[in-house]
Structure 1
């Protein structure tokens, strides 16, 4: 079955080097995408109220706002600053009508080797943010990141770890399934089923893992150019009843960020139809 373009969402990171947020909004509408997922830096440049109006006028859904998180810190002042920034992110997500606030939870505080403590700080930070997120009706979507990022970006690295958090914290905590980060997990199908059956999958992100990968942050592949069985993972997600947006998020300093943005958009659309 051909995927409808109404489910295709552009994570603005995919063309962040070429377009500002206003251009991304216009480009999504012009190329027939159904949705968009802004990053907060681009949102700040345009202004939240202006962005919300332009997204609404373009008829786009907002599959998520990137990102909240980065909870762990070396001291109380740092944790307080993180908490305040997450409240701002929550307000922004609500203002633009995002379907979730994606959480890249953070890694080890500076100078720390205590991974267990970092994970405890993450859970405490999410629990505190929930106090505002629940009344606002904004799902908090934990995005497990590949273990290579455990030290600096996210100490939640598997769907099972995310499940532990949403089981303990309850309503309002969900997951963002990004194939780039979880494709390697031998328990992935089981964990997707568990999250989906509990209604906890809030977002589904796609790109591809290149071999060789030249840069572990900035060399993601276009769908179909790498080794991830993306259609299989999509089917696992959809078998749980998920029928939400399929968000394309590609960081590609040496390739896709160097190309004309309209060319990238057309390739994204073609590969969404053929390789997702």
Structure 2
């Protein structure tokens, strides 16, 4: 299929978080007939978990993912326990919102560390422990590989191959991958690793564009069609493996889209999804 279905569009709430609070985002999605949404934990905390769940039900929105858990590496036992307690809360919140998955940004090097292999081991150990909590509760965990530029601070899982390797070692019962084209478009092994993941592991698909040049490594993502990513081609590879879920727009854009009228941002998301998604 060339053109995506309009009803497959989801909005990651980061896309308009600077203009609207979570209640306004939920109401905006309903008003613009965007049927999927992926909220962030800090926004849910501000609105309240139960009020958020109630608003989502009232507006018949599907929670395509919950952002985020992870950040496993720690520099002390006390910090490790705090992180695991917080991840347990994230699982519980995702369940309360009936989220399709809890998205995991796994974390980078602990403060003051240069031990990348040690960080990888902490990520795997943390994932294993969190799976023990999430699996019996029925909440899928989605590892999101981030671009290598984030390896030090945000995520030392930087490729689909690394994510698949973790799934192989830990078992893919309730464990899979959130494929974000911003972070994975560059990967020469994309097609091979998407085939390797298969339908069972493909839990989420995030879209935006890579601007060339990029002015800010965190918050200068582009709207679909404004950059260099073949978003449609990547989507077709994911869907060829059986993925039938939502296409979640996630744009951090301090220089552009966070400055725009949020209703216009949502209208543009809908149009660009059909044109380039």
Q: Are 1:175 and 2:177 an aligned pair?
A: yes
Task: Flag structure 2 segments of 5+ consecutive residues without an equivalent.
Answer: none
For residues 271 and 117 of structure 2, the distance between their equivalents in structure 1, rounded to whole angstroms, comes to: 43
Q: Could you tell me which residue of structure 2 aligns to residue 225 of structure 1? A: 226
- Normalised by the length of structure 1, the TM-score is 0.98
Q: Are 1:188 and 2:186 an aligned pair?
A: no
Q: Are 1:71 and 2:72 an aligned pair?
A: yes
What is the Cα deviation at residue 5 of structure 1?
Answer: 2.2
Q: Could you tell me which residue of structure 2 aligns to residue 143 of structure 1? A: 144
Q: Could you tell me which residue of structure 1 aligns to residue 29 of structure 2? A: 28
- Compute the RMSD of aligned alpha carbons: 0.7
Q: Could you tell me which residue of structure 2 aligns to residue 4 of structure 1? A: 5
Q: Could you tell me which residue of structure 1 aligns to residue 253 of structure 2? A: 252
How many residues matched? 275
1:36/1:61 contact within 8 Å kept: yes
1:5/1:34 contact within 8 Å kept: no
What is the Cα deviation at residue 219 of structure 1?
Answer: 0.1
For residues 131 and 48 of structure 1, the distance between their equivalents in structure 2, rounded to whole angstroms, comes to: 24
- Normalised by the length of structure 2, the TM-score is 0.98
1:102/1:141 contact within 8 Å kept: yes
For the residue of structure 1 that corresponds to 2:226, the secondary structure is coil
For residues 196 and 41 of structure 1, the distance between their equivalents in structure 2, rounded to whole angstroms, comes to: 32
What is the Cα deviation at residue 18 of structure 1?
Answer: 0.4
For the residue of structure 1 that corresponds to 2:85, the secondary structure is helix
Q: Could you tell me which residue of structure 2 aligns to residue 207 of structure 1? A: 208
What is the Cα deviation at residue 11 of structure 1?
Answer: 0.1
Moved over 2 A (4+): 1-5
For the residue of structure 2 that corresponds to 1:174, the secondary structure is strand
Deviation string for 1:100-157 (max 9, x for gaps)? 0000000000010000100100111111111111111111000000000000000000
For residues 151 and 4 of structure 2, the distance between their equivalents in structure 1, rounded to whole angstroms, comes to: 34
For residues 16 and 192 of structure 1, the distance between their equivalents in structure 2, rounded to whole angstroms, comes to: 30
For residues 28 and 136 of structure 2, the distance between their equivalents in structure 1, rounded to whole angstroms, comes to: 33
What is the Cα deviation at residue 3 of structure 1?
Answer: 2.2
Q: Could you tell me which residue of structure 2 aligns to residue 60 of structure 1? A: 61
For the residue of structure 1 that corresponds to 2:206, the secondary structure is strand
For the residue of structure 2 that corresponds to 1:175, the secondary structure is strand
For residues 148 and 22 of structure 2, the distance between their equivalents in structure 1, rounded to whole angstroms, comes to: 30
For residues 3 and 241 of structure 1, the distance between their equivalents in structure 2, rounded to whole angstroms, comes to: 14
1:5/1:32 contact within 8 Å kept: no
For the residue of structure 1 that corresponds to 2:179, the secondary structure is strand
For residues 126 and 50 of structure 2, the distance between their equivalents in structure 1, rounded to whole angstroms, comes to: 27
For residues 34 and 57 of structure 2, the distance between their equivalents in structure 1, rounded to whole angstroms, comes to: 14
Q: Could you tell me which residue of structure 2 aligns to residue 126 of structure 1? A: 127
For residues 217 and 46 of structure 1, the distance between their equivalents in structure 2, rounded to whole angstroms, comes to: 25
Q: Could you tell me which residue of structure 1 aligns to residue 96 of structure 2? A: 95
